[in-house]
Every structure is written in structure tokens, then in C-alpha cells.
């Protein structure tokens, strides 16, 4: 993007350079623009002169002869061309370097390109005046803001401190010395507008519009001499910037009309006073008037001298005021010191200026002098101003890095400067990093040749070692992307170096490198290089360093405080780990552990270093991987023949720790899978299929002794009968409904699921004949709520007394009487083996009083009564030592004839199974079995139904 002043120009500069939109500074008639060459990207400054500025200034002064104005304008343009052409002919480090010659524009303007300059001295002093007016004398340092070609604004520090002035004045004097002694020219107009500060903070001379050979000069020159009468004739029609500045002019020109080289030294003295004055102007104020100039020199009070402090409002350093300025600002040219004498004055007699002088002359020094200078420079650097270090010293050192013999010494000073600068990020990324890449990374064309060479340059290796030693300063002064693109390739070269010390230093630098790299770069670019070197190396030291690098990559840390690095075979048990890992778990398990498994050496140092790696991996890897892969490797290494007791114990400690972790995690996993949370189940036999707990007791204790005690004391049914919430003993409503149409003779149901086993006697409450553990008591079957309807009250229309008919034979079935009263049931006569006992009145609707509501083949509705009935059968079995057989009822099939030791008559109260009833439930109104008494007395041919089913009578019948 070009400014309006450049749009009308069509030149080589405009086509080859990208020029900023606005000027960065001005100097005399020139506007200075920052630019960048399109082909190389090198920065430059474009000086532009617009001829319209002359025409507009002349028009503002009123009418004038057109021809004379045109002639004056042409003279100005020619002098400005002369300035640019003089720069092309004069080549000196302290004279502004011309990179593009002067070109004419369509409107008569001029432009040329030079090296990059940050400001002119006049612009710098003017800015400092504005700051001092705002904040007082001694205000803050100068800040010069410019805009680059992309539109971004940046702030540059241009501090004018004492050392900057000393350095700048010495450089100006060197340029004057070159002009006077070598070029045979007089500058003629040495002012702040003629001095520029470049990017390296060097002061350089320009403004050679009035340059001319001195009078009576014998040196050949191509520069056209000037006419003092003409240049001193100030034309008011022209701007002051294109005419000679009388404020810095020597009296030799104005008063004596003598053109000599000493006139420049007088101008130099006035320039020195302007640097310390406030405002920063010359002590001579002539207003471009020859008359005023003559009047000032007519009086000693208006001439700068030591008596009037050289007319400076601020103090001047003693060395200048005492010995330098009196020999510069003097009336007689012969009394003035030359440029060379000025450089040798006491004003420059200090270590810093001497250092800068030596640095400027460094290319001409011998290798021994350069080496000594670089070794001692680090002690002097802290005394330099930061701006001098940044702008002057650092660029000079980087320029000398082309000397490979001094590379390591130069890099030490470079990193020292980075530490001293308040913000070293910008100079490191802009200046140092490109040089490091240029030096250490070979070009693409020569990479293959470099890899084929077995030996490397020792000087380059020494410089690489310095870089690795200062890797922390490198990572802190660049971004992750910049480090990856520019420094990481250098680290790769260091890791693959054939020099073991380089490899060792590069591996030890990992803790500083990893934080600035992303995970993908570490895994895919850095780790493979380290793994390759670890696999191929034959050095035990590199082997140990590689293992330590693996610890860092796995998130651990090697103790830097300890002096023991493991190379002596004894390593401490370090457990310090970082909060995060650089590699993922997969890479640790699939890449690092196989590398450790493949180690062949039995050296204790390597084994102990591998122990640290496996310790770190073991904290992250899966438990099964620890058991199957890590522990075998640890056991193999722990039995190494060279390990001592302490080292073996370290292995055993880790093995025990990892084994404990595997045990804990596997136990937890199995507990979660089984859902037991560690509790041991009773069903230990996997062949029992859970039958042991298939039928649990619904109420009461499982302890047989407690149940038996409650039975014999007659307290079996007190709590349960009295509890109205115990609904399992109540007769379901559907049971009463079945009794309506109950036939006198009920045929046995032919349901195979209810048939007892012919070989295994069925125990009470087990309708399916499933084998149960034998015990003193039998457990009731938990009823299925889905097979019962809602409970009905005991007082219904069917609550008449039930009178059982007398039984003539034990084999005859019980016949219910048509009209019975449940409240007064008369017992049938007992046999000769038992005396009849009178019964109290019973409510047959109550489950606890109904002896028919419990059957050995069906679950008892009341837990207590069920237990009592079961005890009767159990006692008969124990006393007679004969198995009992339950009589078939309405829900059972008769056993085969050959296996019927006792026959019981069908129960007249038996009903077919209710709809939806399963094989584990039976109605509570079935009649009791008739075979218990006959089995107890050994008469299989007869059976007699019990007349009472109370607990005491049942127990007495057994006795």
C-alpha cells in the first residue's frame, strides 16, 4: 500500500519494494518510509522528496519571477540528487548505505532506498523535547512507534543515554575522518538532520547536499565544489530544510568564506551541545539570517564557551566541557582538534566505549584476539545499557557467528545478553533463531552428504553443546510452534550425534523441552528418535540416559539434586513424578516396555534405570499388563548376577508393590462381577443348583432347638395367631368356594408334578419330593400370592359346625356331615391305643383351630402348627426307625403298588388344584395324612385319622 506521495511515482523502487502507507520519520526535505524488498524480504528505508512542497512554499510568499523560482527549484533538486549520488560513491560503516540509486518521478520528485533506519537524530531530539515538556526535564525514555508494511504498529526503544551519545559521537567522528582524510571532502552541513540511527543503533552520516572539496585541495574527486556565496544566500522562497542551516554553520564559512575540513569539527561541537541542551537545539539561534549570525559572534557572551557553560541549559559531562568542547568551538580552525584526535580524547576513555570500538573492528582482529575478547565480554555486558546490548552488541555478535571457531564463545555471550534484556523474546525470535537455524541445520541439498559423514565439525559441536546448556532460555523466549519449526530439528541432530557428550546433554534437556511441545510432536517426532538411539547405542552411559529420558516421557522425574546419576550401578529409589505424562498409556505399554525387555546387558546401572522406568509405567499401565508383561521383566532383571543386595531389594519392593496392585484390582473386579461385595454365600457346591435355599422358612428361627423348645412349651402359635397381619395362615376365599361343590369321593388328581418319589420319602411341606438337607424341623413353603384371592372373613354362611363321621376303618375316607357346627365339634371315638380327650369348641374357620388345614403333603398355613405337625411325623420316624409314606391326596398320584407300604384313604376334603397354582403351593383346607399313626405302631394295614391336632395331643400320641 502506497501513500499519496508515492502513487504518482513509477519507478523501480515501487515495483520491487513494498512500501508502508505513512512515513516513519522525516529528515530535512525527505520523508522516510519503511519498506521491504519483495524478492528477499529484506527491510529498507525509502527516502522520498516531493517537488510540490517547493512550489507551494514559494506561492505562499507572494509573487516572484517564474523563471527565477524555477531556477532556484532546479538548484535544490540538483543538490538533493547530489546527496544521493554521494552516498553511492562513499562506502563506509558510518555513512548511510545506499541500496537503490536515486530515481526521478513524473512530477519531478526524487526517491532512493537505503538501509533500514529507525529515525533521524533531529526527529529523535524533537520527540524527546515533546516528552520533556510533558513530564519535565529528565522525563521517561523515548519511545518511537512506527508502522510496518502490513499495517502493524510496533514500538521501538531509542534511548539517548550517555553511552548512546558517546557511541554515536564516536561513529560520527569516524565518518568525518573518512570524509576528511580519505574522500577529501568537507561535509559542509553537519546537523541533526544529517545524522540517522539505523536498526543496529548506529549513528550514520548523510545529508551530503553541500559536500565539497576544501579550498586548495589536491586530492582528485568527482564532487562538484560548492560556492559559499551562493549557498549562504538564503532564499526565503525556499524551505529552510533545503538550504544551509546557519545554526550549525562554522564562522569559517560565514565570516571568513573559508571552506576547510575544520569547519565540520566546529559544527560537531555545536551538535554535541544540542544533545545535552533543553530544548535540544543549537546554542546559536540565527533564524537563517547572516546578519544575526554576525551579531552573535560580535560578542563573547553570545558565543558558546566554557565561561558560559556553552550556552546549555543542562549540564554537560565534565570530560566534554573540560577538554573536548573548548577545542572544537573555537574561532581559529588551527586550534580545533581533528576527527582522529577527537576519538582519542579522554571523553572516550572508558571500558564500554573501548569494547564497542573493538567490536566494530572485530573482523580485522586476529583469531587469538577475537577469542580473548569473547571470553572477557561476558563480564562487561551487564554494564551496557539495554538498548546498546539489543541494538549494537547483539547484532555484531550474530554477524561474527560465521566464524565457526568462535561459535561456542559467541553463543555464550548471546545467551548472556538474552538474560540481561528485560524482554528477550523479540530479539531471540527475530535475530537469534534464524541464525541458529542457518548454522546448525544443513541445507536440504547437503543433508544427505551430512548424514554420510561420520565425523562432525568440532567447533559446531561445541556450539551445539552451548545451545543445549541454555535450552531453558531458548524455550522461554519462543512459542511452541517456533520451537518446533526451528529448534526441534537441532535437538534431533544433537540426539543422533556420534559424540556421546552431545547425546547426553540433549537427553538431559528433555524436562525443559517437553512443556513447549504438543503431544503429537512428542509421540511422532521426538520419541522415535530417542528410541532409535537407545536401541542402537553401545554406550552404557547413553543407555542409562535413554532410560532416564523414558522416565521423563512417562511423567516421572529424575532427582536433579542427587549426585548419583546411576552410572556407578547404585541408584536411589526415586518416586517423584510429574502430574502429567508426555506419552499415552498405549505407547508406554507397546513401545517402551518392549525396548526394556530387549535389553541384553546385565549392568546394574542399566537395570536400576530400567527399574525406574517400569516403576513409572506400572503406575499407569493396566493391571493385567502389569501382571503379564511388567512383572516377568522385573523378575528377570532382579536375578541379574551383578546386582547387590540393596539393588535386589529395590526390585523386590517394586515387584511386591505391583503384585499388590494387581491383587487389589483383580479382587475388586471379581467382586463387582459377582455382586457379592466380598460376602461368602452358603451355596458353595455348584452342583446343588441353589436347592439348599429354594425353600426358606417364612417366619420363626432357623435354629431347630429354639423351634422345638417353643413347640413343647405350647407357645408355638401364640404370637402368630394373635398377629392379624400374618395373612399366610388365613384360608383364601377361593378355598371356601371350592368347598361348596365338594363331592363325597374325590378322585386323586393325576398331576405328575405332585407325585412323590417312590424311592425317596417326601418330607412335610415338600410336594415335589425334592431332596432337602435333613434337620429337626421342616420349613414351610412361601406361598405364591398370585394363587390366592383376597382373604374372606371367618363368619360366613358356611360357618356351620363340621362333624366328622365315625370311622369304621382306617382305610375308609372321612365323610363330612351335612350339618356341622364349627363351634361344637364332637370327637370320634379313639382307638385302644389312645384315650379320648374332650375337646373344647373350635372355630373351623380359624386356621389355628382347624386340624384339617394342614397336610404333610402341602405347606402349612400357620408356621407354628406346621412345625408341630412335622415334629409328630419326625418323632415317629425316629422312634420306630421306619420311613413314613404320605397318603395320596387330591394333588398327588398314587405310587406303584410294589412300593405302597401304607395305604391311606383319600381325603374327603381334598380339592382339585386351583387355577394358576404352581407346584409349590397347595390349598390350606386339605385333610391331614392318615398314615402317620399306623406307621408309628408298625401296622401298615390299618390307618386311623387323628381326632385332634393340638400340639400337646400330638406329642402324647407319639409317646
Residue 14 lies inside a defined structural domain of this protein: no
Q: Could you give the CA distance from residue 608 to residue 625 in angstroms, rounded to a whole number?
A: 21
The closest of 722, 737, 756 to 848, measured between CA atoms, is 722
Neighbours of 365 (CB within 10 A): 14
Residue 342 lies inside a defined structural domain of this protein: no
Total length of the chain: 959
Q: Please count the structural domains in the chain.
A: 1
Q: Could you give the CA distance from residue 846 to residue 658 in angstroms, rounded to a whole number?
A: 68
737-744: long-range contacts, CB 8 A cutoff, minimum separation 24: 738/911, 738/912, 738/914, 738/923, 738/925, 739/798, 739/909, 739/911, 739/925, 740/798, 742/816, 742/908, 742/909, 742/911, 744/815, 744/908
Q: Could you give the CA distance from residue 937 to residue 943 in angstroms, rounded to a whole number?
A: 10
Query: Given the C-alpha cell 517423584, which residue does it identify?
Result: 576
Neighbours of 721 (CB within 10 A): 17
Q: Could you give the CA distance from residue 465 to residue 469 in angstroms, rounded to a whole number?
A: 6
Query: Given the C-alpha cell 510452534, which residue does it identify?
Result: 481
Residue 638 lies inside a defined structural domain of this protein: yes
- SS3 for 940? coil
C-alpha cell at 361: 573492528
Cβ within 8 Å of residue 306, ≥6 positions away:
321, 322, 325, 326
Neighbours of 26 (CB within 10 A): 16
Kindly list the averaged pLDDT for each block of 10 residues, start to end, along the chain of length 959. 48 86 88 91 91 68 67 84 88 92 81 92 88 62 45 51 89 94 92 90 90 85 84 84 90 91 94 92 91 91 90 90 92 92 91 89 89 93 89 89 90 94 88 90 54 64 92 91 92 92 92 91 93 92 93 79 41 41 87 93 93 93 93 94 93 95 93 69 50 47 59 58 45 45 45 44 44 46 52 52 50 48 45 44 46 44 46 46 44 52 46 50 43 43 48 49
- SS3 for 788? coil
**Residue 622: domain span:** 531-561+580-671
Residue 160: predicted pLDDT? 75
* Exposed/middle/buried for residue 561 (C-beta within 10 Å: 0-12, 13-18, 19+): exposed
Global pTM value = 0.60
**180 within 8 A of 338, measured Cβ to Cβ:** yes
Residue 464 lies inside a defined structural domain of this protein: no
Residue 666: predicted pLDDT? 93
Q: Could you give the CA distance from residue 244 to residue 265 in angstroms, rounded to a whole number?
A: 16
Cis status, amide bond into 679, omega within 30 of 0: no
The closest of 500, 504, 467, 466 to 486, measured between CA atoms, is 467
Angle at 648 between CA 642 and CA 652, to 5 degrees: 150
Q: Could you give the CA distance from residue 703 to residue 475 in angstroms, rounded to a whole number?
A: 78
b/e code 468-496 from CB counts within 10 Å (16+ = b): bbbbebbbebbeeebbbebbbebbbbbbb
The closest of 50, 44, 66, 72 to 6, measured between CA atoms, is 50
Residue 635: predicted pLDDT? 95
Neighbours of 628 (CB within 10 A): 11
**889 within 8 A of 904, measured Cβ to Cβ:** no
Q: Could you give the CA distance from residue 616 to residue 437 in angstroms, rounded to a whole number?
A: 35
- SS3 for 312? coil
Q: Could you give the CA distance from residue 227 to residue 212 in angstroms, rounded to a whole number?
A: 9
C-alpha cell at 532: 532409535
User: DSSP letter at 40?
Assistant: T
Residue 620 lies inside a defined structural domain of this protein: yes
Residue 431 lies inside a defined structural domain of this protein: no
Residue 135 lies inside a defined structural domain of this protein: no
Q: Could you give the CA distance from residue 463 to residue 495 in angstroms, rounded to a whole number?
A: 15
Distances (CA, A) of 134 to 129, 131, 145, 536: 9, 5, 18, 68
Neighbours of 903 (CB within 10 A): 19
Cβ within 8 Å of residue 23, ≥6 positions away:
3, 31, 32, 33, 48
Give bridge partners of residue 32 from the DSSP assignment.
25, 47
Residue 538 lies inside a defined structural domain of this protein: yes
b/e code 159-197 from CB counts within 10 Å (16+ = b): bbeebbbbbbbbbbbbbbbbbbeebbbbbbbbbbbbbbb
Q: Could you give the CA distance from residue 534 to residue 547 in angstroms, rounded to a whole number?
A: 8
Amino acid at each position: 500500500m502506497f501513500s499519496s506521495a508515492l502513487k504518482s511515482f513509477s519507478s523501480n523502487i515501487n515495483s520491487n519494494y513494498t512500501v508502508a502507507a505513512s512515513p516513519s520519520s522525516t529528515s530535512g526535505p525527505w520523508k522516510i518510509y519503511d519498506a521491504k524488498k519483495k524478492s528477499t524480504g529484506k527491510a529498507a528505508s525509502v527516502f522520498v522528496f516531493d517537488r510540490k512542497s517547493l512550489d507551494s512554499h514559494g506561492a505562499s510568499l507572494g509573487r516572484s519571477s517564474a523563471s527565477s523560482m524555477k531556477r532556484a527549484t532546479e538548484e535544490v533538486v540538483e543538490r538533493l540528487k547530489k546527496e544521493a549520488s554521494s552516498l553511492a560513491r562513499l562506502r563506509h560503516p558510518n555513512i548511510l548505505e545506499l541500496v537503490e540509486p536515486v530515481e526521478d518521478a513524473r512530477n519531478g520528485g526524487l526517491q532512493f532506498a537505503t538501509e533500514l533506519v529507525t529515525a533521524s537524530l533531529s526527529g529523535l531530539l524533537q520527540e524527546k523535547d515533546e516528552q520533556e515538556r510533558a513530564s519535565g526535564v529528565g522525563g521517561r525514555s523515548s519511545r518511537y512507534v512506527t508502522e510496518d508494511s502490513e499495517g502493524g504498529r510496533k514500538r521501538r526503544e531509542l534511548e539517548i543515554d550517555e553511552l548512546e551519545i558517546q557511541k554515536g559521537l564516536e561513529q560520527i567522528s569516524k565518518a568525518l575522518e573518512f570524509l576528511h582524510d580519505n574522500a577529501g571532502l568537507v561535509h559542509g552541513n553537519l546537523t541533526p538532520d544529517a545524522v540517522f540511527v539505523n536498526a543496529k543503533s548506529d549513528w550514520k552520516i548523510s545529508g551530503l547536499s553541500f559536500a565539497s572539496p576544501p579550498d586548495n585541495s589536491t586530492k582528485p574527486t568527482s564532487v562538484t565544489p560548492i560556492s559559499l556565496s551562493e549557498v549562504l544566500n538564503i532564499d526565503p522562497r525556499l524551505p529552510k530544510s533545503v538550504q544551509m542551516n546557519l545554526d550549525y554553520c562554522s564562522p569559517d564559512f560565514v565570516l571568513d568564506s573559508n571552506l576547510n575540513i575544520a569547519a565540520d569539527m566546529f559544527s560537531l561541537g555545536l551538535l554535541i551541545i544540542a544533545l545535552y541542551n533543553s530544548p535540544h537545539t543549537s546554542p546559536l539561534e540565527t533564524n537563517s539570517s547572516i546578519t544575526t549570525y554576525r551579531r552573535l559572534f560580535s560578542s563573547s557572551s553570545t558565543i558558546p564557551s566554557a565561561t558560559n557553560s556553552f550556552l546549555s541549559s543542562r549540564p554537560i559531562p565534565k570530560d566534554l566541557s573540560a577538554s573536548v568542547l573548548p577545542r572544537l568551538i573555537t574561532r581559529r580552525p588551527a586550534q580545533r582538534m581533528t576527527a582522529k584526535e577527537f576519538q582519542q580524547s579522554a571523553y572516550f576513555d572508558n571500558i564500554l566505549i573501548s569494547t564497542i570500538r573493538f567490536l566494530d573492528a572485530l573482523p580485522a582482529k586476529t583469531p587469538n584476539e577475537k577469542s580473548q575478547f569473547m571470553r572477557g565480554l561476558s563480564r562487561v555486558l551487564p554494564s551496557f545499557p539495554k538498548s546498546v546490548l539489543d541494538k549494537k552488541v547483539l547484532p555484531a555478535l550474530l554477524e561474527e557467528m560465521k566464524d565457526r571457531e568462535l561459535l561456542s564463545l559467541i553463543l555464550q555471550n548471546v545467551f548472556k545478553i538474552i538474560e540481561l534484556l528485560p524482554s528477550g523474546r523479540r530479539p531471540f525470535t527475530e535475530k537469534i533463531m534464524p541464525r541458529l537455524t542457518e548454522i546448525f541445520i544443513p541445507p536440504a541439498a547437503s543433508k544427505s552428504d551430512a548424514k554420510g559423514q561420520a565425523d562432525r565439525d568440532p567447533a559446531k559441536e561445541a556450539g551445539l553443546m552451548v545451545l543445549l546448556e541454555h535450552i531453558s532460555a531458548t524455550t522461554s523466549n519462543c512459542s511452541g510452534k517456533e520451537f518446533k519449526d526451528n529448534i526441534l530439528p537441532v535437538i534431533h541432530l544433537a540426539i543422533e550425534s556420534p559424540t556421546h557428550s552431545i547425546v547426553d546433554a540433549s537427553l538431559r534437556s528433555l524436562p525443559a523441552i517437553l512443556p513447549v511441545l504438543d503431544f503429537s510432536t512428542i509421540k511422532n517426532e521426538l520419541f522415535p528418535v530417542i528410541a532409535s538411539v537407545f536401541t542402537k547405542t553401545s554406550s552404557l552411559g547413553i543407555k542409562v540416559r535413554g532410560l532416564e529420558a523414558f522416565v521423563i516421557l512417562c511423567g516421572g522425574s529424575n532427582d536433579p539434586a542427587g549426585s548419583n546419576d546411576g552410572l556407578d550401578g547404585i541408584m536411589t529409589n526415586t518416586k517423584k513424578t510429574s502430574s502429567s505424562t508426555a506419552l499415552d498409556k498405549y505407547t508406554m505399554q507397546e513401545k517402551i516396555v518392549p525396548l526394556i525387555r530387549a535389553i541384553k546387558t546385565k549392568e546394574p546401572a542399566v537395570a536400576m534405570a530400567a527399574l525406574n522406568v517400569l516403576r513409572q509405567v506400572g503406575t499407569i499401565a493396566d493391571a493385567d499388563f502389569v501382571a503379564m508383561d511388567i512383572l516377568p521383566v522385573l523378575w528377570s532383571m532382579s536375578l541379574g548376577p551383578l546386582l547387590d543386595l540393596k539393588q535386589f531389594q529395590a526390585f523386590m519392593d517394586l515387584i511386591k508393590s505391583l503384585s499388590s496392585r494387581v491383587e487389589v484390582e483383580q479382587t475388586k473386579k471379581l467382586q463387582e462381577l459377582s455382586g457379592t461385595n466380598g460376602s461368602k454365600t452358603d451355596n458353595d457346591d455348584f452342583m446343588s443348583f441353589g436347592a439348599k435355599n429354594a425353600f426358606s422358612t417364612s417366619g420363626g428361627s432357623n435354629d431347630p432347638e429354639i423351634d422345638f423348645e417353643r413347640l413343647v412349651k405350647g407357645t408355638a402359635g401364640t404370637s402368630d395367631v394373635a398377629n392379624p397381619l400374618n395373612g399366610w395362615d388365613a384360608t383364601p376365599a377361593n378355598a371356601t368356594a371350592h368347598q361348596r361343590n365338594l363331592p363325597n369321593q374325590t378322585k386323586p388328581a393325576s398331576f405328575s408334578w405332585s407325585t412323590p418319589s417312590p424311592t425317596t420319602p417326601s418330607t412335610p411341606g415338600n410336594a415335589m419330593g425334592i431332596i432337602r438337607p435333613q434337620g429337626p424341623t421342616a420349613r414351610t413353603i412361601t406361598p405364591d400370592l398370585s394363587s390366592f384371592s383376597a382373604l374372606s372373613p371367618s363368619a360366613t354362611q358356611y360357618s356351620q359346625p363340621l362333624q366328622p363321621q365315625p370311622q369304621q376303618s382306617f382305610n375308609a375316607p372321612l365323610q363330612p356331615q351335612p350339618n356341622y357346627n364349627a363351634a361344637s365339634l364332637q370327637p370320634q371315638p379313639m382307638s385302644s391305643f389312645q384315650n379320648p380327650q374332650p375337646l373344647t369348641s373350635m372355630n373351623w374357620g380359624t386356621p389355628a383351630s382347624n386340624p384339617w388345614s394342614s397336610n404333610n403333603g402341602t405347606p402349612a398355613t400357620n408356621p407354628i402348627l406346621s412345625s408341630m405337625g412335622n415334629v409328630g411325623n419326625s418323632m415317629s420316624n425316629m422312634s420306630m426307625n421306619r420311613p413314613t409314606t404320605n397318603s395320596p391326596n387330591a394333588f398327588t398320584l398314587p405310587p406303584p403298588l410294589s412300593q405302597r407300604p401304607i395305604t391311606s384313604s383319600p381325603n374327603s376334603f381334598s380339592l382339585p388344584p386351583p387355577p394358576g397354582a404352581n407346584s409349590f403351593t397347595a390349598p390350606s383346607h386339605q385333610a391331614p395324612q392318615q398314615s402317620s399313626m399306623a406307621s408309628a405302631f408298625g401296622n401298615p394295614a390299618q390307618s386311623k385319622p387323628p381326632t385332634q391336632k393340638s400340639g400337646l395331643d400330638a406329642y402324647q400320641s407319639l409317646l
